[in-house]
Amino acid sequence: MSISVTHNYTDQPEPEFSAEKLLEVQRFISMYPEGKQKSALMRILHLAEEEFGGWLSVPTMNYVARLLNIQPIEVYEVATFYTMFNIEKPGKVVLEVCRTGPCMLVGSDQIIEYIENKLDIKVGQTSADGMFTLKTAECLGACGYGPMLQCGKHYHEHLTPAKVDELLDTLRKEHSEK
Amino acid sequence: MGRKLLLEHANVPGIETFEVYRRNGGYRSVEKALKTMSPQNVVEEVQASGLRGRGGAGFPTGMKWSFLAKPEGVPRYLLCNADESEPGTFKDRYLMEKIPHLLVEGMIVSSYALGCNQSYIYIRGEYMWVLEIVEKAIAEAYANGFLGKNILGSGYDLDLAIAPGGGAYICGEETALIESLEGKRGNPRIKPPFPAVKGLWGCPTVVNNVESIAAVVPIVNDGGAEYAKIGIGKSTGTKLISACGNLVKPGVYEIELGLSVEEFIYSDEWCGGIANGKKIKACVPGGSSVPILPANLITKTAEGTDRLMSYESLAEGGFATGSMLGSGGFIVFDEDQCIVRNTWNFARFYAHESCGQCSPCREGTGWMEKVLRRLEHGQGHMHDIDLLAEINKKIEGNTICPLGDAAAWPVAAAIRHFREEFEWHVTHPDEAVKRNFGIASNHMPLV
Ligand SMILES: Cc1cc2nc3c(=O)[nH]c(=O)nc-3n(C[C@H](O)[C@H](O)[C@H](O)COP(=O)(O)O)c2cc1C
Ligand code: SF4
Ligand code: FES
């Protein structure tokens, strides 16, 4: 699973959380005993992704290390192990279609192929307009409601080509305004 | 209708709020335990209930609790395993989403029994929306005096928090979960020492599944003996089954253990039969890591008796002709499904999810995936089938954690029961490719 992160260094300065988000960071840290603040790492990485463009650049990870008073390598290790963290900049919207057995039994392969054709990309790629990145995911705990995909925090279940069309239109509208 | 102990109120409007939950009898077990029972009494009730862990292995919960070391001056921890990543399993999500206070209530009573003052729920990162639901329930429990200092004036203090994962199946393994909770990569630890002695931050720790913890609520309310009356033999109580695949009504069901498999699959009260009027071909009854059963062994055992939804009956005949109840992820295949394709798909899952720490698992799962991919794409050889069995033997029993076995067993079972289908892929390569649902790419290059 591990991927090198050194290539994702950007010249950008370290980002910073707003005062409001810093309070949240403090709340996450306070959930653990004194000296065990490293346990809050994953929660803060999720927050950092949400706040800083949907991915973890090296400056972002260095900032998180500083917040937690741990070594940057401790953050890189975690960010590269867990599949949910993006260490490469994705499109504005990331679509993660479940491809595991139970979803496959009810047509996930066809849904993946349908999206590939529609966006003219392959799994792992980003559409030419920079809007959609298509990924596959392993079982997301929606096996009885497949085929399904996750987009941000949202689950979209019982997918059909028509539902995919509708979803992509809605997402495109929502995100082109931003 | 079977009795429901966990999901009885799941469809009451507003049950996710403290107020409605309380009005429907919620938090009675906390009052009862903290006011009238000693922690030891609670442990004894759980032992008397015969409850077996609902996370997959089925180890008796009361016995696990009794192993917890209690050195002086060292905190101990209860961790709820809400990592739920076993393909086919989506029951814990349902429980937390529908009736989050049941888990919070179970965490309070269980923590009291174990003498923990700080407990955590480790929830898979993809369930962020479920995390928000449970976190709201926790906040309500604090606001109503069921969490925090001096709960209900009993002198007992408990803090409860949630930790999210980052999308790694291996973090469901209890020592990997502990590593992950400590903010590290989810690499399983070598056992012993077991978590009961050295777990989170080196302190004694119990890890239990969401459903196991929720089941403690009715056990305390009604008594362990009452709970033990439900079910069959050593499979006591009710069990959540998440049914999926080619069924008329996939979904999450609470069954009394001992229900017949036939009734579960075919009756309208449960799954309603096979979708599109097709016949059943196979079934994986306990999540992707348990052996697959061919049609003739699903509703009957090899001895010809009715197969029941219980730990014992599903395992009857051992791995030769049986399987496991596992996590209750019940996956059904209709007659048109390709077993080789499915075996490859699951092998790909395990290869993807291996944490990479031990060579037999890291290399073996990847190797099996490649061989199966070849076979599925009509590029395999007859000796590949035996090669798979060979790799299997190299992995089984030679790894730090059971993920290696979990990857090996399903492949062995698929070959045992469906060998002709694997051979057919070798002898009919073109047809095998065509049968491939007409999909060319399969989202992974052939190598
Ligand atoms: C690879 C692997 C994944 C696991 N995933 C889960 C899981 O998602 N949820 C769970 O409760 N147990 C899971 N388990 C089992 C746990 O290690 C542990 O036995 C269980 O959480 C104990 O709870 P219980 O006694 O209440 O069943 C997994 C085990 C392995 C080896
Ligand atoms: S068996 Fe696999 S998942 Fe388990 S510790 Fe070894 S490499 Fe990691
Ligand atoms: S198999 Fe797709 S969500 Fe479980």
Q: What H or E segment, with its residue span, contains residue B219?
A: helix B210-222
Q: Are A116 and B352 inside 8 Å of each other by CB?
A: no
B14-66 pLDDT per residue, tens = 999 999 999 999 999 999 999 999 999 999 999 999 999 999 999 999 999 99
Interface of B with A in 210-249 (CB under 8 A): 242-246
Q: Tell me which residue has tokens 């809400």.
A: B82
Question: How distant, in Å, are the alpha carbons of B37, B329, B343, B344 from that of B296?
Answer: 49, 20, 19, 23
Token readout for B147 is 């969490």
Residue A20 has pLDDT above 90, yes or no: yes
Question: How distant, in Å, are the alpha carbons of B67, B157, B216, B278 from that of B45?
Answer: 16, 22, 9, 45
Burial environment of residue B188 by CB neighbours within 10 A (0 to 12, 13 to 18, 19 or more) = buried
Q: Is B300 helix (H, G, I), strand (E, B) or coil?
A: strand
Residue A142 has pLDDT above 80, yes or no: yes
- Which residues of chain B does A145 touch, with a Cβ-Cβ cutoff of 8 Å? 90, 250
Task: Tell me how far apart the alpha carbons of residues B297 and B301 are, in angstroms, rounded to a whole number.
Answer: 5
Could you give the angle at the alpha carbon of B90 between the alpha carbons of B440 and B127, nearest 5°? 90
Token readout for B332 is 């059904």
Question: How distant, in Å, are the alpha carbons of A88, B349, B353, B360 from that of B366?
Answer: 24, 10, 10, 10
Task: Tell me how far apart the alpha carbons of residues B337 and B342 are, in angstroms, rounded to a whole number.
Answer: 8
Task: Tell me how far apart the alpha carbons of residues B418 and A4 are, in angstroms, rounded to a whole number.
Answer: 41
Task: Tell me how far apart the alpha carbons of residues B224 and B368 are, in angstroms, rounded to a whole number.
Answer: 45
Residue A2 has pLDDT above 50, yes or no: no
Burial environment of residue B18 by CB neighbours within 10 A (0 to 12, 13 to 18, 19 or more) = buried
User: What φ, ψ does residue A167 adopt, rounded to 5°?
Assistant: -65, -45
Q: Is B79 helix (H, G, I), strand (E, B) or coil?
A: strand
- Which residues of chain B does A70 touch, with a Cβ-Cβ cutoff of 8 Å? 183
Whether the CB of B172 is below 8 Å from some CB of chain A: the reply is: no
Res. A1 pLDDT band, cuts 50 70 90: very low
Nearby residues of B318 by Cβ (< 8 Å), 6 or more positions away: none
User: What φ, ψ does residue A97 adopt, rounded to 5°?
Assistant: -95, 130
Q: Is B124 helix (H, G, I), strand (E, B) or coil?
A: coil
Burial environment of residue A36 by CB neighbours within 10 A (0 to 12, 13 to 18, 19 or more) = middle
Q: Are A101 and B345 inside 8 Å of each other by CB?
A: yes
Whether the CB of A33 is below 8 Å from some CB of chain B: the reply is: yes
Task: Tell me how far apart the alpha carbons of residues B372 and B366 are, in angstroms, rounded to a whole number.
Answer: 10
Res. A74 pLDDT band, cuts 50 70 90: very high
Burial environment of residue A72 by CB neighbours within 10 A (0 to 12, 13 to 18, 19 or more) = middle
Task: Tell me how far apart the alpha carbons of residues A40 and A25 are, in angstroms, rounded to a whole number.
Answer: 8
Give the CB-side neighbour count of residue A167, counting CA atoms within 13 A: 23
The pocket around ligand 2, CB under 6 angstroms, is made up of: B 170, 188, 354-358, 361-362, 399-401, 403-404
Average pLDDT in chain A: 94
Would you say the CB of residue B205 lies under 6 angstroms from ligand 1?
no
Which residue of chain A has the CA closest to B331? A102
Return contacts of B371-374, CB within 8 angstroms, 24+ apart.
Answer: B372/B340, B372/B343, B372/B344, B372/B347, B372/B348, B372/B411, B373/B344, B373/B348, B373/B442, B373/B444, B373/B446, B374/B446
Residue A8 has pLDDT above 90, yes or no: no
* First-residue to last-residue Cα distance in chain B: 52
- The number of angstroms, rounded, from the C-alpha of B138 to the middle of its chain's C-alpha atoms is 23
| Residue B359 Cα: closest atom of ligand 2 | 7
Whether the CB of A140 is below 8 Å from some CB of chain B: the reply is: yes
Token readout for B68 is 């917890």
Question: Does residue B359 contact residue B423 with C-beta atoms inside 8 Å?
Answer: no
Res. A6 pLDDT band, cuts 50 70 90: low
Interface of A with B in 100-129 (CB under 8 A): 100-102, 104-106, 109-110, 112-113, 116, 122-123
Which residue, judged by its Cα, is nearest atom 13 of ligand 1? Answer: B172
Res. A79 pLDDT band, cuts 50 70 90: very high
Question: How distant, in Å, are the alpha carbons of A5, B42, B71, B325 from that of B431?
Answer: 43, 60, 64, 35
Burial environment of residue A98 by CB neighbours within 10 A (0 to 12, 13 to 18, 19 or more) = buried
Res. A7 pLDDT band, cuts 50 70 90: low
List alpha helices for B50-188, DSSP H.
61-66, 91-98, 100-114, 128-143, 174-181
B3-24 pLDDT per residue, tens = 999 999 999 999 999 999 999 9
The pocket around ligand 3, CB under 6 angstroms, is made up of: A 98, 100-103, 139-143, 146, 148; B 87
| Residue B170 Cα: closest atom of ligand 1 | 1
Residue A73 has pLDDT above 80, yes or no: yes
Report the DSSP pairing between strands B118-123 and B77-82.
parallel
Residue A5 has pLDDT above 90, yes or no: no
| ipTM value for the complex | 0.95
Whether the CB of A154 is below 8 Å from some CB of chain B: the reply is: yes
User: What φ, ψ does residue A29 adopt, rounded to 5°?
Assistant: -65, -35
Report the DSSP pairing between strands B205-209 and B77-82.
parallel
Give the CB-side neighbour count of residue A80, counting CA atoms within 13 A: 16
* β-pair partners for B433: none
Q: Mean pLDDT in each 10-residue stretch from start to end of chain B (447 residues)?
A: 91 98 98 98 98 96 96 96 97 98 98 98 97 98 98 98 97 98 98 97 98 98 98 97 97 98 97 97 97 97 97 95 97 95 96 96 96 93 95 94 94 96 93 66 44
Percent of chain B surpassing pLDDT 90: 95
Which residue of chain A has the CA closest to B338? A105
Task: Tell me how far apart the alpha carbons of residues B208 and B111 are, in angstroms, rounded to a whole number.
Answer: 11
Nearest Cβ partner for A81 among B186, B352, B442: B186
* β-pair partners for B242: B252, B329
Residue A174 has pLDDT above 90, yes or no: yes
Using N-to-C axis directions, what is the helix angle for B39-49 and B100-114, rounded to 10°?
120
Q: Are B166 and A153 inside 8 Å of each other by CB?
A: no
pLDDT for B434 equals: 78
